[in-house]
Amino acid sequence: MTLSTGTTKPDEVCLAAVDLARAAAEETAGVIGVGEYVGAQAEDTRVVSHLFACPHPGYRGWCWSVTVVRAARARAVTLNEVVLLPGEGALQAKVWVPWAERIQPRDVTPGVLLPRSDDDPRLEPGYSGGEDAANLDSAEVSLIRSVVAELGLGRERVLSPEGRDEAAERWLVGEGGPDNLLSRLAPDVCETCGFFVRLQGSLGTLFGVCANAFSVSEGTVVSVDHGCGAHSNVLADEQPSELPPPIWDTIEWDAPISLFD
């Protein structure tokens, strides 16, 4: 089978160099092996690639591509390159994605470090009051950092409006939000519960932290309209102070009765 690229006509001399191409493929393949001849493809003027199937089970659907070339007015064909290429249906590795883009929420487990990004849209400069917060080479900013750290005046970076919005959306649809069975069966919402500790700042208008050790939400962020059965307003069932005396119900028979009568 001969394939051509565009209007390029395969060079007859290069097209006939199948044995040269197979020898080069076998030398490169080693134990992987070289299978049957698949065909040829014209790459350019006097440039042809010969294709051989790869029989190795680990490279199913792949083929060896051996490119040969002939110089102008030359009779001899020379070897250009030998590569293993995937064909249709070939098993290939997925496209590599940087780790910073693969990481998902809650992936930072003990021992894992997540490097900061200076262009993280969820953060903005804090106490320094400008983009100089990311400039590690500025002597003035370094001095500000040391003074602020000593006096405890603030943080170098704080949540940006985008970071707060992302957190709010994530918390509202999570287990601490209002749309779940726990909240629907609750006697009241967290906002009226004595164990509800409201967050500070703008997020405090919608969220707080549960401080009830008996609640499944304890120690987590909950929305003001979240709820659970451990609400502080839940009252115990009323029980009488004294139990009534027991009632004895007896039955008498005039004569003994046998189970076998």
pLDDT, one tens digit per residue, over 142-158 is 676 677 666 656 677 78
Domain assignment of residue 184, given as a range = 162-223
Say yes or no: 54 and 82 in one domain: yes
Residue 13 has φ and ψ, to the nearest 5°, of: -70, -45
Give the number of domains in the chain: 3
Measured CA to CA, the distance from residue 69 to residue 179 in angstroms comes to 68
Say yes or no: 63 and 17 in one domain: yes
pLDDT class of 110 with cuts at 50, 70, 90? confident
Q: Is the pLDDT at 251 greater than 80, yes or no?
A: no
> According to the model, what pLDDT value does residue 80 have?
93
Say yes or no: 39 and 69 in one domain: yes
What is the pLDDT of the chain when averaged over all its residues?
A: 84
> According to the model, what pLDDT value does residue 137 have?
57
Q: Is the pLDDT at 64 greater than 60, yes or no?
A: yes
Q: Is the pLDDT at 231 greater than 80, yes or no?
A: yes
Which of the residue ranges 33-42, 56-65, 249-258 would you say has the lowest mean pLDDT?
A: 249-258
Say yes or no: 81 and 14 in one domain: yes
> According to the model, what pLDDT value does residue 252 have?
67
Q: Is the pLDDT at 257 greater than 80, yes or no?
A: no
Residue 19 domain-assigned (yes or no): yes
Residue 133 has φ and ψ, to the nearest 5°, of: -65, -25
Residue 142 domain-assigned (yes or no): yes
Say yes or no: 17 and 41 in one domain: yes
> According to the model, what pLDDT value does residue 164 have?
93
Q: Is the pLDDT at 225 greater than 90, yes or no?
A: yes
Measured CA to CA, the distance from residue 164 to residue 149 in angstroms comes to 24
Say yes or no: 10 and 39 in one domain: yes
Give me the percent of the chain exceeding a pLDDT of 90. 51
> According to the model, what pLDDT value does residue 93 have?
79
Q: Is the pLDDT at 54 greater than 60, yes or no?
A: yes
Say yes or no: 65 and 127 in one domain: no
| Residue 128: closest CA among 94, 98, 91, 153 | 153
Q: Average pLDDT in the 76-104 region?
A: 86
pLDDT, one tens digit per residue, over 9-19 is 888 999 999 99
Cβ–Cβ under 8 Å, residues 165 and 131: no
Higher per-residue pLDDT: 170 or 254: 170
Residue 100 domain-assigned (yes or no): no
Say yes or no: 69 and 126 in one domain: no
Residue 123 has φ and ψ, to the nearest 5°, of: -125, 155
> According to the model, what pLDDT value does residue 105 have?
82
Helix extents (H) in the chain: 12-15, 18-29, 99-102, 139-151, 161-173, 181-184
The residue among 131, 159, 187 that closes a domain is: 159
pTM of the predicted structure, to 2 decimals:
0.52
Say yes or no: 70 and 8 in one domain: yes
In this structure, the number of other CB atoms found within 10 A of the CB of residue 49 comes to 25
> According to the model, what pLDDT value does residue 53 have?
94
Say yes or no: 74 and 14 in one domain: yes
Say yes or no: 169 and 145 in one domain: no
| Angle (nearest 5°) at CA 15 between 77 and 58 | 95
> According to the model, what pLDDT value does residue 243 have?
74
> According to the model, what pLDDT value does residue 70 have?
93
Q: Is the pLDDT at 35 greater than 90, yes or no?
A: yes
| Residue 179: closest CA among 216, 229, 211, 227 | 227
Q: Is the pLDDT at 7 greater than 70, yes or no?
A: no
Give the domain CATH number at 18.
Answer: 3.10.450
The residue among 159, 191, 208 that closes a domain is: 159
Residue 21 domain-assigned (yes or no): yes
Q: Is the pLDDT at 169 greater than 90, yes or no?
A: yes
Residue 236 domain-assigned (yes or no): no
> According to the model, what pLDDT value does residue 190 have?
96
